[in-house]
């Protein structure tokens, strides 16, 4: 990890992580300082007595000191609104980028 001068970094800037933390896999890093995290979930539908698979995509701030890449398993934390679509920040990379 390298030192960064990002004002929106939760370690070196003024953004604070509060509330919920989630884990997911990075599927895109095309935006500047942005990572799209995909979470796989299962939901029970009592009407049909079946389990349904669901996916959720969350845009999160990707600070230069963490620099998560596609395929990485990451932990994200809730913050205040950083931009129009981002209210989460990448806190740490848990696993490497192994592709299935």
Domain ranges of the chain: 21-95
- What's the rounded Cα separation, in Å, for the pair 36 and 49? 32
Name the CATH topology of 21-95: OB fold (Dihydrolipoamide Acetyltransferase, E2P) (2.40.50)
Query: Rounded mean pLDDT of 43-69?
Result: 95
Query: Rounded mean pLDDT of 28-38?
Result: 95
pLDDT tens digit sequence for 57-93: 999 999 999 989 999 999 999 999 999 999 999 999 9
Q: Return mean pLDDT, the chain.
A: 91
Residue 97's pLDDT band (cuts 50, 70, 90): low
Residues 6+ apart with CB under 8 A from 41: 53, 54, 55, 56
pTM over 0.75: yes
- Burial track 11-23 (b if 16+ CB lie within 10 A, e otherwise): eeeebebeeeebe
> What is the pLDDT, as a whole number, of residue 5?
84
CB 85 within 8 A of CB 91: no
Question: In terms of DSSP bridges, do strands 88-95 and 21-28 run parallel, antiparallel, or are they unpaired?
Answer: unpaired
In this predicted model, which residue has the larger pLDDT, 89 or 3? 89
Query: Rounded mean pLDDT of 43-66?
Result: 95
State yes or no: pLDDT of 99 exceeds 80: no
């Amino acid at each position: 990890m390298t030192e960064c001068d990002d004002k929106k970094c939760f370690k070196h800037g003024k953004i604070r992580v509060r509330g919920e933390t989630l884990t997911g896999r990075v599927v895109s890093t095309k935006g500047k300082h942005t990572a799209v995290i995909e979470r796989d979930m299962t939901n029970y539908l009592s009407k049909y007595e079946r389990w349904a698979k669901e996916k959720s995509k969350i845009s999160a701030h990707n600070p230069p000191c963490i620099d998560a890449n596609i395929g990485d398993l990451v932990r994200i934390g809730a913050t205040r609104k950083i931009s129009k679509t981002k209210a989460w920040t990448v806190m740490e990379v848990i696993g490497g980028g192994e592709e299935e």
